[in-house]
Amino acid sequence: MNHTRRKFIKKSSLALAGSGAAFIFPMELLATLRKRVGPNDTINVGLIGCKGMGFSDLISVLKISETNVIGLCDVDENVLMARTADLEKAGIKKPKWYTDYRKLLENKDIDVVIIGTPDHWHCLQLTDALQAGKDVYCEKPIANSIQEANIMKHFVGSSDRMVQIGQWQRSQPHFVEAINYVHSGKLGEIRLAKAWAYQGWMQPVPIIPDTPVPAGVDYNMWLGPAPKRDFNKNRFHFSFRWFWDYAGGLMTDWGVHLIDYALYGMKAGTPKSVMALGGKFAYPDDASETPDTLQTVFEYDGFSILWEHATGIDGGNYGRNHGIAFIGNNGTLVLDRGGWEVIPENEFRGWGKEPGKRMEAIPVQQKKGNGLDLHTVNFIESVKSRDASGLNAPIGVGYDAALVSHMGNVAYKSGDRIYWDETKGEFKQESANEFLKATYHNGWKLPML
């Protein structure tokens, strides 16, 4: 709907944003959730990047009856055909197709844009969408470099558009409950926050030869500002995450979600120093570039944050393959996507004596609701109210998590303990600052601050 002609409705079917992860949500069921809404009360959506999480975000948004998708953009025509067929199962007519996102942004009937492309595209597409007057739901991490993150934060701060970052755990009730408990002080002084992702499902990326570009794929558009390379299936669609040209590996994939909550719980900003150790230990000879094993320490005054990741194994901390732990003097709170609990510390009462407990244990508090659906509801409510103060993951949340995660990758690449200069917004080591920058190729230009 056009912002000059619409009247934002106060009654809605937002409560129908139901349970079940969007990426496995039955499309036929989506049709039963959607109610008829008048054209003047409809929020028209365009999706850029339709293969993975972008389509999950779209389905979550479409559980809200006031929304309608009228544009799909993807460099792969095969994906456009498949996603259109999915939408037809939900009774949604074929949206207009685009392979160039700039053409989608020219469509003045589109109010909201979802950005679900690989990381190396986020900066250009977000800034262009804002300049086109669109509200934006942008997948995490917000950028593929610290320089791009700075540019995006500036553009959003200078705009009146609503921008939600896809760190949906900010809307997940049990995550919020856990952080409220951390902030209560009951754990005592917290000396360490851990975040980790042990991903047993991740197998080696096999070395395969380059091939001709598949039919229906605009490969030059997929590369965009990334370096020119021959087509290789390993670098396309999902597995782009494991190549530095397009993403930052598990550190910026899972790390952005989990480090975000470590920062949130500790009320932490940028660290004083960062060091990282790891490498390709599990699959040293596979095709991926990013480390499959990594430990990163972020130094703060009075505490540290530790990030760990490992591929091919699930044996993470506290018997969980992912999570965040806040280790206090009285006890430890452990949090993951399934719930949270508190494990008390023992009180030493002397040799040979039964130890006491420093605090009460709290058994696992189970997950409640669907974080992604609640996150998109929160976004659409802000689109309607034009009030960015209610966003659960505004650009600042995405920026902080991306900044710290990219710092970890810079420490890994540099091989040094690196120190952050808060005043200058850069590292004290010039060799590390080289990794902060974005270099655009193929005629694409970095947006200017």
What confidence tens digit (pLDDT) does each residue in 39-53 have? 888 999 999 999 999
Count CB neighbours of 410 within 10 A: 25
* pTM score, whole prediction: 0.93
Q: How many CB atoms lie within 10 A of CB 184?
A: 8
Place of tokens 């452990």: 334
Can you give the pLDDT at residue 14? 33
Q: What is the pLDDT of residues 368-399, one digit of tens each?
A: 999 999 999 999 999 999 999 999 999 999 99
pLDDT of residue 112: 98
Consecutive sets of 10 residues in the chain, 449 residues long: mean pLDDT of each? 38 32 71 84 96 96 96 98 96 97 98 98 98 98 98 98 98 98 98 97 96 98 98 96 98 96 98 98 97 98 98 96 98 98 92 88 96 98 97 98 98 97 96 96 93
Q: What pLDDT score was predicted for residue 24?
A: 63
| Domain 14-170+372-394: CATH superfamily, name plus number | NAD(P)-binding Rossmann-like Domain (3.40.50.720)
**Segments making up each domain of the chain, as ranges:** 14-170+372-394, 173-366+400-436
The hierarchical CATH code for the domain 173-366+400-436 is: 3.30.360.10
Quick check: 13 and 65 in contact, CB under 8 A? yes
Looking at residue 195, its amino acid is A
Distances (CA, A) of 303 to 160, 172, 178, 189, 203: 37, 26, 19, 9, 34
Report pLDDT for 435: 97
List the one residue out of 39, 19, 365, 6 whose CA is nearest residue 176: 365
Task: List, in sequence order, every beta strand (DSSP E) within 94-220.
Answer: 96-98, 112-115, 135-138, 163-165, 190-199
pLDDT score for 19: 30
CA 101 vs CA 218, 417, 418: distances in Å: 12, 40, 38
